Amino acid sequence: MDFDNSQPIYMQIIDEYKKNIIRSELKKGDKIPSQREYAQIVRVNPNTVQRAYREMENMDMVETLRGQGTFISAGEQMREQMAKEMAAKVMQHFIHEMRSLGYEDTMIMAMLKCELEPMEEGEQVDRI
């Protein structure tokens, strides 16, 4: 994993786990790497990982058992909620960037539509 400077590393770690849960690559009960392991893998200080894990515990994403490890505790309901939150975040960022490029909302909609539905029956687009 690489981290950027857009937000704190511990938040990026959390977001990474959120994505994994959303994609169902991690499910309730799965064990995640120990703080030390994870710290070595992503080349980050163990304290930073600990903060990420602690905050995940606070929001009931994971459960930690002392001496045993840390486990995903988020179920299907939480998975859906996280998906909505992440989507909202991604979408707002997208809108912000498009607007800062000078596009108005109607134009943004049109461009996305064009990108997602390149050809519908009877339509002819991009013909000069």
Partner DNA sequence: GTGGTCTAGACCACC
Cβ contact 28:67 at 8 Å: no
CA-angle at 10, arms to 5 and 15, nearest 5°: 85
Compute the distance between CA of residue 69 and CA of residue 36 in angstroms, rounded to an integer. Answer: 11
By CB under 7 A, is residue 66 in contact with DNA? yes
Q: Is residue 115 a contact residue for its own copies (CB under 8 A)?
A: yes
Distance in Å from the first CA to the final CA of the chain: 43
Q: How far is the CB of 120 from its own copies (least distance, A)?
A: 12
Beta carbon of residue 57, minimum distance to DNA (angstroms, whole number): 7
Give the count of residues interacting with DNA (CB under 7 A).
25
Tell me if 91 contacts its own copies by CB under 8 A: yes
| C-alpha distances in Å from residue 65, one per residue of 44, 82, 85, 95 | 22, 23, 27, 41
Considering only residues 14 to 53 of the shown chain, the ones binding DNA according to CB under 7 A are 34-37, 44-48, 50-51, 53
Where would I find the H helices in the chain?
Answer: 9-22, 35-42, 46-58, 76-100, 105-116
Question: Where does this chain bind DNA (CB under 7 A)?
Answer: 8-11, 34-37, 44-48, 50-51, 53-54, 57, 64-70
Question: Where does this chain bind its own copies (CB under 8 A)?
Answer: 2-6, 19, 22-23, 58, 83, 86-88, 90-95, 97-98, 100-103, 105, 108-109, 111-113, 115-117
